[in-house]
Amino acid sequence: MDLTIRPGEVLGLVGESGSGKSTIGRAIAGLTPVTGGSLSVLGVEMNGARPRQVRPVRERIGFVFQDPSSTFNPLLTIADGVAEPLIVQGRARDLREARPRVDELLEAVQLPRAYGDRFPHELSGGQRQRASLARGLALEPELLVADEPTSALDVSVQARVLELFAELQAELGFACLFISHDLAVVDLLADRIAVLYRGEVVEEGTGEEVLGSPKDPYTQRLLASLPVPDPVLQAARRTELARLRSLD
Residue 111 confidence (pLDDT) above 90: yes
Query: For residues 131 and 111, what is the distance between their CA atoms, to the nearest angstrom?
Result: 8
CA-wise closest residue to 199 among 31, 28, 11, 13: 13
Q: What's residue 243's pLDDT?
A: 63
Return the closest-CA partner of residue 151 out of 6, 1, 17. 17
CATH of 10-211, one of 3.30.70.100, 3.40.50.300, 3.40.1710.10, 1.10.357.10: 3.40.50.300
3-state DSSP call for residue 227? Answer: coil
User: CA-to-CA distance for 50 and 29, rounded, in angstroms?
Assistant: 14
Neighbours of 199 (CB within 10 A): 13
pLDDT in tens, 179-221: 998 888 888 889 999 999 988 999 999 988 988 888 888 888 8
The pLDDT tens digits for 132-177 are 999 999 999 999 999 988 887 887 788 888 899 999 999 999 999 9
Lowest mean pLDDT among 36-45, 182-191, 208-217, 234-243: 234-243
CA dihedral (147, 153, 154, 160) in degrees, to 10, reads -70
The Cα–Cα gap between 204 and 5 comes to 12
Judge whether 189 and 178 are in contact, CB under 8 Å.
yes
Q: How many other C-beta atoms lie within 10 A of the C-beta of residue 12?
A: 25
Give 93: exposed, middle or buried? Use CB within 10 Å, 0-12, 13-18, 19+: exposed
pTM (2 decimals)?
A: 0.87
3-class secondary structure, 146: strand
The letter for the amino acid at 111 is: L
Distance CA 105, CA 187 (A): 27
